[in-house]
Amino acid sequence: MGTTIKIPEPASPFPGLGVENAQGLLQWISAVDHKIIGIMYLVTSVVFIVLGGVLALLMRIQLAVPMNHFLHPEAFNQFFTMHGTTMIFFVAMPAIFGYAVYFIPLMIGANEMAFPRLNAFGFWMTLFGGLLLYFSFVAGGAPDAGWFNYAPLNEKNYSFNHGIDYFSMGLLVSGIGSVVTSVNIIVTVLHYRIRGMALNKLPLFVWMIFVNSFLLLAAFPALNAALAMLLLDRELNAHFFNTANGGSALLWQHLFWIFGHPEVYIVILPAFGIFSEVFQVFSRKAIFGYAFVAASSVAIALLSFGVWAHHMFAVGFSNTVNSFFGASSMLIAIPTGVKIFNWIATMWGGKIHFTVSMLFAISFLIEFTIGGLTGVAFAMYPIDWQLTDTYYVVAHFHYVFIGGVVTGLLAGLFYWFPKITGKHLDEKAGRWFFWLFVIGFNGTFLIQHVLGMIGMPRRVYTYPNLPWYEVLNFISTVFSFVMGLSILLLVFIMRKAMRHGAPAGPDPWNAYTLEWATRTSPPPLKNFDDLPAVTGRRAWWDMKQSATTGTSQQASADAPQQPPTNPQPPTNPQPPTDPHPPTDPHPQNKNNDTI
C-alpha cells in the first residue's frame, strides 16, 4: 500500500483545537463519538444563528423608516428567504439534533448511538447542506422566493439565477442527513436502553425526540419529493409546477405544507422535551401527568398531518375543505394545552429555583401561549383571509419559533452547558442575557401584531408613510437590535465560561436523569462503566435515593434540596481514563451558588 494517513482518535469528549495540538481539528473531523458530533451540531447552529440574525437585522434597518433605500429590493427578497431557511433548517434542526445525539445515549444509559458512523454522516450532510445553500451568494444570487418557495415563482422563467437550485440541493442534502439521524435515533431508543427502562419510563426529552423522529421520517419525504420535482422542472424542463404547461402550482403548496406543518412540530416537540426536564428539576418535583405529556405529543404528531391546508386558505378552497382544516387546526390546541397545564401543575407546590434555565422555561409558558392563541385565531379562515401575508403572520410564527423553540433551546443550553463543557455559565450575566432577550423579542414582535392588523403586508422591502407605520416599525427595529445585542452577550458569556467558568461537578443541579450520572462533566469518552437497572421514571434520582437511604423512594415529591454526599451508587472499578479529571471534588458546594 502507499502512504497511510493516521486518523487520530479523539482522546477526550471535548478535544482541544489549539495550535499546540496539530491534530486538534482532525480529531473533530474524524470523530464518530456521539458527544463530539453533538457539540459540532450545536456549534453549527450557533454559527448559522449569527448569519441568520445578521440578515434579520439588515432587514430591520431597511424597514426602520418608510421609503428607505438601504437595501436593494432584490437583496431584501434574498435576505428574508435566506433568513427563514437558515433559521428553520440550519439553526433549529442542528440544535435539536445536537441535543438529541448528545443526550439520548446518556439519558438511556447507553455508551453510543446505534450507528456511530451514520451519526457522523448525518451531521456532515447537515453542515454541507447549509454550506451549499450559502454558496448561492457567490454563485449568482441567493434564493429569493421565500422559505416556502412557492411555484411558479420558484420556476426557471421567474427565478432564472441559480439561487433556487442551491436552495433545492442544500435542503435535499441536509434532509438526507436529518432522515438518517432520525433512523439512528429510533434504533438507539428501541435497542440501547438500560435494563429496566421500559418505554413508559423514558425521560420525557427522549420521548419527545423519539416521537419526533417518526414525525420527521414521515414529513421529510414530502419535501424531498417536491424538491426533486422542482429540480426536474428547473434542470430538465419538466412541467410539474408550471401551470402554463399543464402542471399545477398548487401541487407545490400541497407538498410543501404536508412537509411544512409537521416541520413546525418537528422543531417544537424537542423544545417541549427540554422544558419537561427543566420544569421537573428546577421545581424539585416529578412531572405532573407523565403519561399525558407523552401521549399528547403522539396526538400532536398525528394531528399535524391533517392540518396542512390551513396555510392555503387564501387559495380558494370550498367552504367544506376550509372548515375541515380549520377544525383540525383548532384540535391541535387541545394536546398542546394539556402540556401547558401539565407544566404549570408541575411547578404548582414545587420548590422553584429561578435559574436562568427556569426563567426561560417560565417565559416560554407566556410567550408560547400568545403564539398559540394567534394560531387558533388563524384557524378561523375568515380571520386568516383578512390577516394572511401580513405582519400578523410574522408576529405569530416568531412567537412560536422564538418564544417556543429558541427559548427551549436556550433553556436547554443553560441546563446542559455544565454537562457538555464542565463549566458553569455565569448565572448573573445569564440573567442580563435573559432580560435583554425577552425584552428585545417581545418589543420586536408584539407590536407586529398591530402592524399586521392595520394592514402592513409582509415581504415588502419598503412601505409608504401611512399612519402608525413608521413609529411601529421603528420601535420594532430598535428592539430587534436589543435582541441582537443579547445574542452577542450570550456568545460572550459562553466564551467566558469555557475559559474560566466555575467548574461544574458531574451533577450540579441535583438532577433526575442519567446524563448527570457520568463520573465527570464533560462525560468521559465511554459514558458509563456500570449502572444499576432502572426502576422509576427519574432514574438517576432513584439511584441517588437508594444510595443514601438504602430504599428506593421514586415517588417522593418533596425531595431534599441537597443531594446525598456521595451520589455515585455504583463504585467504579476502573480508575478514570479521561484526560479531564473531575475538576471539582465537591460538586455539591456549587449548588448553593447556582441553584
Partner 1 sequence: MTQSENRTMMQAVVYTEAFFFLCLIMSYIYLAYSTGFEPHDLSRLDIGTSGINTALLILSSFTLHLAERGYGRGNTRALKAWLIITLILGAIFLIGQGREYVKLIQDKITLESSVFGASFFTLTGFHGLHVFIGLVILSIMLTLAFLGDFNRPVATATAPADTAPTATAPADTAPAAQPAGSESPGPSASAGWQTDSASPAQPGGGALGTVAIYWHFVDIVWIVVFTVVYVLPQFTNI
Site string for partner 1, 230-269 (x = CB under 8 A): --xx--xxxxx----xxxx--x--xx--x-----------
How big is the site for partner 1, counted in residues (CB under 8 A)? 57
> What is the length of the chain?
595
Determine the interface stretch with partner 1 among 69-77, 84-92, 188-196, 583-591 (rule: CB under 8 A). Answer: 188-196
Determine the interface stretch with partner 1 among 106-114, 149-157, 393-401, 409-417 (rule: CB under 8 A). Answer: 106-114
Instruction: Name the residue nearer to partner 1 (CB basis): 240 or 441.
Output: 240
196 binds partner 1 (CB under 8 A): yes
Smallest distance from partner 1 to CB 39, Å = 20
Determine the interface stretch with partner 1 among 83-91, 120-128, 223-231, 488-496 (rule: CB under 8 A). Answer: 223-231
How far is the C-alpha of 336 from the C-alpha of 303, rounded, in Å?
A: 11
According to DSSP, residue 92 is labeled I
Instruction: Name the residue nearer to partner 1 (CB basis): 184 or 486.
Output: 184
**Sign of the alpha-carbon torsion through 239, 81, 78, 121:** negative
Backbone angles phi, psi at 579, to 5 degrees: -70, -15
Smallest distance from partner 1 to CB 118, Å = 8
* Helix H or strand E encompassing 12: none
Backbone angles phi, psi at 390, to 5 degrees: -110, 180
How far is the C-alpha of 395 from the C-alpha of 415, rounded, in Å?
A: 28
Instruction: Name the residue nearer to partner 1 (CB basis): 74 or 530.
Output: 530
For residue 262, whether the previous peptide bond is cis, meaning omega lies within 30 degrees of 0, is no
Smallest distance from partner 1 to CB 182, Å = 8
Residue 526 CA to chain centroid, in angstroms? 26
Instruction: Name the residue nearer to partner 1 (CB basis): 462 or 568.
Output: 568
Determine the interface stretch with partner 1 among 176-184, 352-360, 394-402, 434-442 (rule: CB under 8 A). Answer: 176-184
How far is the C-alpha of 106 from the C-alpha of 112, rounded, in Å?
A: 8
317 binds partner 1 (CB under 8 A): no
CB 417 within 8 A of CB 425: yes
Helices marked H in 242-380: 249-283, 290-303, 319-347, 356-379
Residues 497-536 that bind partner 1 (CB under 8 A): 527-533
How far is the C-alpha of 513 from the C-alpha of 354, rounded, in Å?
A: 20
Instruction: Name the residue nearer to partner 1 (CB basis): 323 or 572.
Output: 572
| C-alpha cell at position 255 | 407538498
How far is the C-alpha of 441 from the C-alpha of 58, rounded, in Å?
A: 16
How far is the C-alpha of 382 from the C-alpha of 377, rounded, in Å?
A: 9
Backbone angles phi, psi at 472, to 5 degrees: -65, -40
CB 41 within 8 A of CB 103: no
Instruction: Name the residue nearer to partner 1 (CB basis): 214 or 435.
Output: 214
Rounded to 10 degrees, the C-alpha dihedral 155/156/157/161 comes to: 120
Angle at 17 between CA 16 and CA 21, to 5 degrees: 80
Smallest distance from partner 1 to CB 238, Å = 4
| C-alpha cell at position 126 | 447537515
Smallest distance from partner 1 to CB 286, Å = 23
435 binds partner 1 (CB under 8 A): no
How far is the C-alpha of 504 from the C-alpha of 589, rounded, in Å?
A: 10
Instruction: Name the residue nearer to partner 1 (CB basis): 239 or 496.
Output: 239
Instruction: Name the residue nearer to partner 1 (CB basis): 115 or 135.
Output: 115
Determine the interface stretch with partner 1 among 102-110, 151-159, 498-506, 580-588 (rule: CB under 8 A). Answer: 102-110
Q: Which of 11, 43, 187, 460 binds partner 1 (CB under 8 A)?
A: 187
Q: Which of 64, 229, 387, 402 binds partner 1 (CB under 8 A)?
A: 229
* Strand partners of residue 423: 503
CB 323 within 8 A of CB 392: no
CB 449 within 8 A of CB 383: no
Instruction: Name the residue nearer to partner 1 (CB basis): 187 or 482.
Output: 187
225 binds partner 1 (CB under 8 A): yes
Site string for partner 1, 532-561 (x = CB under 8 A): xx----------------------------
Determine the interface stretch with partner 1 among 222-230, 289-297, 306-314, 554-562 (rule: CB under 8 A). Answer: 222-230
CB 363 within 8 A of CB 440: no
Q: Which of 11, 51, 186, 383 binds partner 1 (CB under 8 A)?
A: 186
Instruction: Name the residue nearer to partner 1 (CB basis): 357 or 527.
Output: 527
Query: Where on the phi/psi map is residue 507: left (φ > 0), alpha (ψ -120 to 50), or beta?
Result: beta
Smallest distance from partner 1 to CB 542, Å = 14
Angle at 396 between CA 390 and CA 402, to 5 degrees: 130
Smallest distance from partner 1 to CB 321, Å = 14
218 binds partner 1 (CB under 8 A): yes
Instruction: Name the residue nearer to partner 1 (CB basis): 220 or 512.
Output: 220
Instruction: Name the residue nearer to partner 1 (CB basis): 467 or 573.
Output: 573
Instruction: Name the residue nearer to partner 1 (CB basis): 258 or 413.
Output: 258
The Cβ of residue 445 has, within 10 Å, a number of other Cβ atoms equal to 26
Site string for partner 1, 108-127 (x = CB under 8 A): xxxxx-xx------------
How far is the C-alpha of 520 from the C-alpha of 527, rounded, in Å?
A: 9
Smallest distance from partner 1 to CB 527, Å = 7
Smallest distance from partner 1 to CB 580, Å = 20
| C-alpha cell at position 422 | 464542565
Binding site for partner 1 (CB under 8 A): 108-112, 114-115, 179, 182-184, 186-187, 190-197, 214, 217-222, 224-226, 228-229, 232-233, 236-240, 245-248, 251, 254-255, 258, 527-533, 570, 573
